[in-house]
Amino acid sequence: MSRDDPEPTAEPTDADQLLVLPDELRRELKEPMGPIETDAARLLADVDGPLVAVGDVVTYHFLRAGRPPDVSLVDERTERSAVDEEVRETVTEATTVEVVNPPATISRAVVEALLEGLAEDEPTTIRVEGEEDLAALPAIVATPEGGSVVYGQPGEGMVHVKVTDGNRRDVRALLDRFEGDVDRLWSLLEERASDDE
């Protein structure tokens, strides 16, 4: 499906929008949350456990390296521009689910799709209508200990976050500073954790 195709889904409601990024956190989120790597094969050598890729170019590099991420979140854009056709076709070929996540927000739909993807045995590709960038934050909280969340750092490369209790705590503290229904986010994440036990 291209961006020109009619959208079958309804416009998101306020109930679908869990969190909104406040202006004062924008600069803080530009700092990478882990080491930056430009070579996918080298990065993959340091990956144990589940791999979540946030971004079209990151996902593309992993697919080209022969390691489909366990969960990929793509929006057919990179640095605010459309990705080229080869990248778009490669990363959306195995789209499993489509969700709406407006820019500068974290929607309930993207969190639920992420959690469902992590619970699947097969790789899951989530095509986001809107923007997928902030999904890296709930991904770090939701990915099992020792897993990896990788997202793009504009103009620099791929940021590799190895999931630990410490960086989960840091991200939870960051998400607590967002505007919106933080309690609902924690409730969704805890429901899934209890389902997995």
7 is in an annotated binding site: no
**Using one digit for the tens of pLDDT, what is the confidence trace for 1-45?**
233 333 434 444 444 889 999 999 998 999 999 999 999 999 999
Domain ranges of the chain: 40-196
**Using one digit for the tens of pLDDT, what is the confidence trace for 68-92?**
999 999 988 776 677 778 888 888 8
pTM of the model: 0.87
Q: Report the run of H or E that residue 142 belongs to, with start and end.
A: helix 136-142
pLDDT of residue 90: 83
Can you tell me which residue has the tokens 């306020």? 14
CA 115 to mean position of chain CA atoms: 11
132 is in an annotated binding site: yes
Closest CA to 133 of 57, 50, 188, 75: 75
58 is in an annotated binding site: yes
Q: Answer whether 5's CB lies under 8 Å from 132's CB.
A: no
* Whole-Å CA distances, 68 to 52, 95, 151: 9, 12, 14
Q: Calculate mean pLDDT across residues 103-108.
A: 95
| Rg (alpha carbons) of the chain, rounded to whole number | 16
